[in-house]
A and B are shown apart, each in its own frame.
Chain A
Amino acid sequence: MTRGFIRHFPGNLSEVKLIVNGVEYEFDLDPRTTLLDLLREHLGLTGAKKGCDHGQCGACTVLLDGRRVNSCLILAVAQQGAEVTTVEGLGTAERPHPVQRGFLDHDGFQCGYCTPGQICSAVGMLDEVKQGRPSAVTTPGDDLLSDAEIRERMSGNLCRCGAYPNMVPAIRQAAGE
């Protein structure tokens, strides 16, 4: 594990330790820094996108201690010691994550802007399904990966291109791996 020291801000700073994609970092942060800005501006991880900056689009979705969250509404100072996984930490071009593979195989995107968020969200969502967690459309005994279930569970990620239809089989394929 490498260790990075990033000190940018003068004035009112808070010390924060975070593990991002398996690498431990220490930051001296302006407390206003959101997790999204930390990833993009401080670490140069531009996979997570700033679509709305208000929790309304899902483009900034990352995994926080394994759970999907909107990084734009999270203050980095409040996540001392947390583990963050971004789309960059999921897979590589040579060895894509099953969800990335699914999106490629099924053409689950057009412009690609929302895609890192969609992929992180799908990874978190498949874990929720594995745990048997319900969604708003779940009736006991039903298949938690029906089209209706996948659509509802992914409703926190908007796609301006409307590439939704192919994401459904992409995600189902990944669930089988």
Chain B
Amino acid sequence: MKTFEYRTATAASAVLAPDAAFLAGGTNLVDLMKLGVATPDVLVDVTKLPLDRITDLPDGGLRVGATVRNSDLAADPRIRERYPVLSQALLAGASGQLRNMATTGGNLLQRTRCTYFMDPSTPCNKRAPGSGCPARAGDHRNLAILGGSEACIATHPSDMAVALAALGAQVRVESATGERTIAVTELHRLPGDRPDLDTVLDHGEMITAVDLPALPFATRSAYRKARDRASYAFAVGSVAAALDVADGLVRDVRLAWGAVAPRPWRATTAERLLRGRPATHENFLAAADEELRAARPLRDNAYKTTLTRNLTAAVLTRLASAGEAR
């Protein structure tokens, strides 16, 4: 590991030196530093800032501080009751030990698990711009079917972010130049010809919190994750959904997919198709198919199209038939 200087952040509005990086739980950044993928000169630890609280918002929503640990967020009674999809997504990710360190901000900004990205001995446009993308012809079994580009087909690996996308969460960021709020669905960029830029954040912008809007029907919401083993593995496909059904018709629906795109994929086309329609398995499949028309699978990841389609219909069907939220 390259050596660095360790500092603690004193304020979100402080200037971040050019080669400095924020450190939160370290479960992704320290790993990438060991691998030689991340080489910051300075680490600025954000976990000593008072950003570790979950507070009620006046409209009935919740503000989740950037350094709230994933395990504490998943266990919070307000999250479990009002946004079960978020609690479930968090608990489906990583392990008990990792969730005790991982933070809200760090989870959102964790980097792709593409094997080439994590191995500096190989080319990779995201890690070394212009060096090429060996994944296209090589190992892309768990890479993107939606939103990728010629230059990069990385997926964003977070489970939490998929639930946040479905819930319409807003990310609050702060830097020396001020504060702004970004929809979580707009936080991660599609790669285009700049796969080295994961997000729309400028250097030095710190995530301070994530705001969850009031969404009464999210009490009926769920997360389902498919993976290569029963637990402690990244998703190969996942679905976050909230459903409001009245008289057999979809009054409102929120749907987002994980492990299929460079960002948590909010399925707005499918949502639009479903509003006002009968809440049937058939309609759920048809809506997923419409959203998946944009899919561009490669040799070894076409299974994700079928997987996502079937997971979507299964989750929505179960939510439709669930008399009560859980």
Contact = CB atoms under 8 A, between A and B. Distances in A.
Contacts of B97: 55, 58, 61, 68-70, 121, 124, 156
B6 to A, nearest CB: 4
Nearest to A139: B326
B71 A133 contact: yes
B5 A74 contact: no
Given A31-B6, A73-B26, A134-B91, A124 B34 contact: no
A58 B74 CA distance: 21
A38 interface: no
Main secondary structure of the interface of A (DSSP, over half): loop
B101 A121 contact: no
Contacts of B88: 136
B91 A69 contact: no
A61 B231 CA distance: 18
A70 B91 contact: no
Contact of A68 (B30, B75, B94, B96): B96
B88 to A, nearest CB: 7
Interface string A67-85: 1111001110110000000
A156 B232 contact: yes
Interface string B7-47: 00000000000000001001100110010000000010101
A17 interface: no
Contacts of A67: 71, 100
Interface in A123-152: 124-125, 128, 131-136, 138-140, 151-152
Nearest to A125: B96
A78 B92 contact: no
Given A32-B3, A152-B231, A74 B100 contact: no
A78 B100 contact: no
Nearest to A12: B3
B31 A78 contact: no
9 contacts: A78-B6, A78-B26, A124-B100, A131-B75, A133-B71, A134-B80, A153-B96, A155-B231, A156-B96
A74 B26 contact: yes
Contact of B4 (A32, A34, A152, A156): A32
B91 A135 contact: yes
Contact of B96 (A77, A124, A158): A124
Contacts of A134: 74-75, 80, 87, 91
Nearest to A29: B6
A77 B88 CA distance: 32
Nearest to A78: B45
B26 A140 contact: no
A24 interface: no
A54 B95 CA distance: 13
A77 B30 CA distance: 12
Nearest to B1: A32
Contacts of B71: 67, 128, 133
Contacts of A73: 26-27, 30-31, 98, 101
A30, A73, A138, A158 pick with most chain B CB within 10 angstroms: A73
Contact of A14 (B1, B6, B326): B6
B294 interface: no
B100 A75 contact: no
B137 interface: no
A53 interface: yes
A128 B100 CA distance: 11
A167 B94 CA distance: 21
A125 B97 CA distance: 9
Contacts of B4: 31-32
B27 A55 contact: yes
A55 B3 CA distance: 21
Nearest to A14: B6
A67 B3 CA distance: 28
Contacts of B74: 133-134
A75 B6 contact: yes
Given A54-B31, A155-B232, 14 more contacts: A12-B5, A32-B1, A54-B34, A55-B97, A61-B97, A67-B100, A68-B96, A73-B98, A74-B30, A134-B75, A135-B91, A139-B326, A156-B98, A157-B95
Given A34-B30, A70-B98, A78 B91 contact: no
A12 B3 CA distance: 8
Given A124-B96, A156-B95, A156-B232, A55 B31 contact: yes
- Most-contacted residue by chain B among A61, A68, A139 (CB, 10 A): A68
Nearest to A31: B6
With most chain B CB atoms within 10 A of its CB, the pick from A12, A70, A153 is A70
